[in-house]
Amino acid sequence: MAKIQKSKSILTKKEPERRWLLALKSKAGRTASGRITVRHRGGGVKRLYRVADFGQDKLGVVGKVIALEYDPYRTAYLVLVEYQDGDRRDKSLLPPRSTTVGLGEKRYILAPYQLNVGDEIICNEAAEIKIGNRMKLKNIPVGTQVYNIELEPGKGGKMARSAGSTAKVLAREAGLTHLAMPSGEIRKVPQECFASIGQVSRPEHRFITIGKAGRVRLKGRRPQVRGTAMNPCDHPHGGGEGKTPIGLKYPKTPWGKPALGVKTRKKKWTDKYIVKRRN
């Protein structure tokens, strides 16, 4: 497969909005006491986190797209939106280094596919069916593609947020909307939840070939050692002379649980909203 580069030619050449930048400390998969809870994490290049607005609580306020920017923490791009109402909040509550002085408030949101600089968007209970607009699911026609979908009203978008992701509105019943998720799962979501119209930007991300181990290390991922290459004290598959089999009836995780196809997750109360499993 040919290597597909991350195309940045469509991005706006500007510095990121300093008000919404955070320097996150790398945990390298460790807790406060230093215990490794997530393996194969560590290293990576230095980067700044962009605070994105997944809730878009400015109802009825028109926003204008003034920049399309790259985000090193996400697979999708971000757009910087300037709202027409300005910033009416208490200045003492703003993050440090705020640059909002007499201008419309600027916020980052997920960039939908084919949204351009200069376009206007709005978030309201009901709005025009246009790329980037955000409204309640009960006002979105069946067959429409949506992204950044809320699971609970007022909690902000939780689903369909990665590059190229989109869900499809299938049907409505008893205050719930049926959505076909990117994974193939069909799920019921309350109609009072908000969702954005369109598809998340950068759908070509799925075709990117990493190419070499060094690029994975730059992402903060460390090498993953096979269990059969370890000692018996380190992994259930370890030990033996040379390339011996694992010596078990079925493969196990490093902690002795069944691996590869066996469900070990407990049931959740939200399972009742799943109409069709992704598998």
Two structure tokens written together for 111: 């960039």
pTM (2 d.p.):
0.82
24-27 LR contacts (CB < 8 Å, sep 24+): 24/49, 26/220
C-alpha span between 106 and 210 (Å, rounded) = 34
| Of the candidates 151, 187, 158, 157, the residue with the CA atom closest to the CA atom of residue 171 | 187
CB 162 within 8 A of CB 200: yes
CB 28 within 8 A of CB 41: yes
- Each residue's pLDDT tens digit in the chain (279 positions)? 445 555 677 888 788 888 888 898 889 999 999 999 999 999 989 999 999 999 888 888 899 999 999 999 999 999 999 988 765 554 554 555 544 444 578 899 999 999 999 899 999 988 889 999 999 999 999 999 999 999 999 899 999 999 999 999 999 998 999 999 999 999 999 999 999 999 999 999 999 999 999 999 999 999 999 999 999 999 999 999 988 999 999 999 999 999 988 887 788 888 899 999 887
Question: Hey, is 180 helix, strand or coil?
Answer: strand
Q: Is residue 221 packed enough to be buried (19+ CB in 10 Å), middle (13-18) or exposed (0-12)?
A: middle
Q: What are the start-end ranges of the E strands in the chain? A: 21-22, 49-50, 62-69, 78-83, 106-110, 120-122, 134-136, 145-147, 149-150, 157-159, 167-173, 176-180, 186-190, 194-197, 274-276
Two structure tokens written together for 235: 């992994």
Question: Hey, is 177 helix, strand or coil?
Answer: strand
End-to-end CA distance of the chain: 27
Query: Which domains can be identified in the chain, with CATH numbers?
Result: 18-207 (2.30.30.30), 228-272 (4.10.950.10)
Output the CA torsion sign for 214, 215, 216, 217.
positive
